[in-house]
Amino acid sequence: MSLAVSIPLPRGATDVFLPYTGLVVTLAMLFGGGGNQEWSDAVVQLAALPLLAWALFKLSPSQLGRIGQWAIVLLCGILALPLLQLIPMPPSLWSSLPGRGEIAAAYQAAGMTLPWLPLSLEPSGTWLGLLSLLPATAVFLAMLSVEQRSRRILIVLILVIVFASVLLDILQVMDGEDSALRFYAVTNRDRAVGFFANSNHNAAFLYCAIPFAAAWAIGLVQDHRPIPSRNGAVTRCSPVRSIARLATWSGSIGPTPAVRRDGCHSCHAAPRISGRIYWIHAARRAGGH
């Protein structure tokens, strides 16, 4: 099925696409962790708007494949969720929902006719949540529209920022609770927060980098190794295969207490995803895709 129509772009625009994508990635990772919709969030979202439109023009169905098409479907579902919560509903419908009795009683006590209201109890907050998805959506579509080499360059950029964040974490802890390296007034001063205001978000940022590191390393090594055939004719056990198995196994154990303390209750998923990345990559190369 065709999900998009690729529109030819000037060569100059094509040459700038990857650097601008890198700029949006950098802005999102450095300034998108303030919370409470501060000015930094607005900067990232505004920067993501041109990239979103640019990626939609650049993306072609031939680049997607079956997995890419299903990813687009999943993305549409994610974006539709907050939009559906903003659709006004008739009073007879929303007043019957759990927790709406007090709201309906307040309107009736004031002698007001029940208005049409959306499912969201705080529409402005839902709109802000929808806007917060702009950078991730734009970068995701940009990743789909570039070739493999450009994706690897962007992954290296992500890993460089992650490394800088780890160094910043160490300096924040060494410098104490009143460190000038904590960039937000409302923050967790007793823990490392990196470029974020919340230590839990910083922890999530770090463990989400594990699949990116695994994808980059696995792709780099696999490109220089023999490809196993489907009939098992070539059955060499590579170090990457062992690492992928170990990562998958270690993910089943769960996070350590230190990681739990920082809110990484889902970090066990990162090694599992890393192992899955290897198997998908190996299967594609064995099948000649």
10-residue mean pLDDT profile of the chain (289 residues): values are 49 76 92 71 92 89 80 94 94 88 89 91 91 93 88 90 91 87 83 86 86 80 58 49 46 40 50 56 56
Look at residue 119 in the predicted model and tell me its pLDDT.
92
Specify whether 28 is located in the same domain as 125: yes
Shared domain check, 160 and 23: no
pTM above 0.75, yes or no: no
Tokens of 246: 């170990």
pLDDT value for 35: 62
* DSSP-based three-state secondary structure for 200: helix
**What b-and-e string marks burial along 147-170, b requiring 16 or more CB atoms within 10 Å of the CB?**
eeebbeebbebbeebbeebeebbe
Residue 2 belongs to a domain: yes
For residues 266 and 56, what is the distance between their CA atoms, to the nearest angstrom? 32
Question: 3-class SS at 89?
Answer: strand
Give how many domains the chain has, as a whole number. 2
128 and 169 together in one domain: no
Tell me how many degrees the CA angle 6-10-14 measures, rounded to the nearest 5.
75
User: Which residue, 146, 163, 187, sits at the end of a domain?
Assistant: 146
125/231 same-domain check: no
Does any domain span residue 47?
yes
Q: Are residues 137 and 249 both part of a single domain?
A: no
pLDDT score for 194: 87
Let me know whether 37 and 19 are in one domain: yes
Question: End of a domain among 129, 146, 163?
Answer: 146
Q: Report yes or no on 218 lying in a domain.
A: yes
Residue 155 falls inside a structural domain: yes
240 and 174 share one domain? yes
Asked if 161 and 168 count as a contact pair (C-beta separation under 8 A), the reply is no
* Whether residue 68 sits in one domain with residue 169: no
Q: What are the backbone dihedrals phi and psi of residue 117, each rounded to the nearest 5 degrees, phi first?
A: -130, 150
Give, as one character, the DSSP assignment of residue 3: -
Partner residues linked to 117 by β-bridges? 89
Q: What's the confidence (pLDDT) of residue 39?
A: 78
| Together in a domain, 247 and 267 | yes
Rounded Cα–Cα distance for residues 99 and 91 (Å) = 14
Same-domain check for residues 7 and 24: yes
CB contact at 8 A, 27 and 139: no
The pLDDT score that the predictor gives to residue 183 is 82
Tell whether 164 and 253 lie within a shared domain.
Answer: yes
Owning domain of residue 4: 1-85+120-146
pLDDT value of position 232: 52
Residue 9 lies in a domain: yes
